[in-house]
Amino acid sequence: ARCGAALGLISHYFESKDDLFRDVVARRLPLLSAMIRASIDAALARPDVTTSGIVRGFVAPFLQIGADPASPLHHYVRLTSHFMSSYRDPHLTPTLRTLQPISHMFSDALRGQWPNAPEERFLSAVYLVESALVFMTQDQGFLEDLAGSRASPDKFHQLVDDTVEFFCGGIERLLAA
């Protein structure tokens, strides 16, 4: 309605809602993938690579995107995060699976730090980090409070630091056992 297009025009370009959703997800996926890849690669390039650095490389870009309404990925990350809680829905699963390479970037990097961790515990650690991050990127008011005019950039950086410390504590507890 805002762009003055008829609803039927969407049906002309997309046969189904599933097709529309698939194209929406595919449109920004390369940009998000490149951003996460660059951040994780920077963490891995350090001679003193740590679990903390890998977690920061994965988490910080998502929190920055979520806190910055001007980011070209802001709405994209919020949209995909909302749908991630329904990843087993048969209508959404094929499209949401296209996001898996981002998860694999994180889990592959983390596996390099924890090569002997039991698979089940390793997968639990990755799942817990990712599911918490999905929720955090959906909680728009919280991120805006920390990054927007109501708080200083230092508060945002403190959130990233606290998040990394919390996630690493859980990862280390699960995987060192």
Q: Kindly write down the DSSP assignment for every residue of 56-115, as one continuous string.
A: HHHHHHHHHHHH-TTSTTHHHHHHHHHHHTTTT-TTTHHHHHTTHHHHHHHHHHHHHH-T
Query: In whole angstroms, how large is the CA radius of gyration of the chain?
Result: 18
pLDDT recorded at residue 148: 56
- Contact predicate 69/3, CB 8 Å: no
pLDDT band at 49 (very low <50, low <70, confident <90, very high): very high
* Tens digits of residue pLDDT in 128-165: 999 999 988 887 777 766 655 455 667 788 889 999 99
* Tens digits of residue pLDDT in 58-82: 999 999 898 888 899 999 999 899 8
Average pLDDT over residues 23-30: 91
Average pLDDT over residues 23-47: 95
Q: Which tokens hold the place of 79?
A: 């949209």
Is residue 7 scored above 70 in pLDDT? yes
pLDDT recorded at residue 11: 76
Grouping H, G, I as helix, E, B as strand and the rest as coil, residue 175 is helix
Average pLDDT over residues 11-15: 77
pTM greater than the 0.85 cutoff: yes
Q: Which tokens hold the place of 9?
A: 């025009």
Q: Which tokens hold the place of 82?
A: 């909302």
- Contact predicate 53/110, CB 8 Å: no
How big is the chain, counted in residues?
177
* Tens digits of residue pLDDT in 96-140: 899 999 999 999 999 999 999 999 999 999 999 999 999 888 877
pLDDT recorded at residue 154: 74
**Cα(39)–Cα(56) distance, integer angstroms:** 8
Q: Which tokens hold the place of 32?
A: 């998000």
pLDDT band at 14 (very low <50, low <70, confident <90, very high): confident
| Dihedral sign from CA coordinates of 1, 134, 144, 28 | negative
Measured CA angle at 120 (ends 115, 121), to 5 deg? 70
**Cα(81)–Cα(12) distance, integer angstroms:** 28
Average pLDDT over residues 36-63: 96
- Contact predicate 171/117, CB 8 Å: no
Residue in this structure with the two tokens 């995987």, named with its chain if needed: 175
Residue 34: CB atoms within 10 A of its CB come to: 10
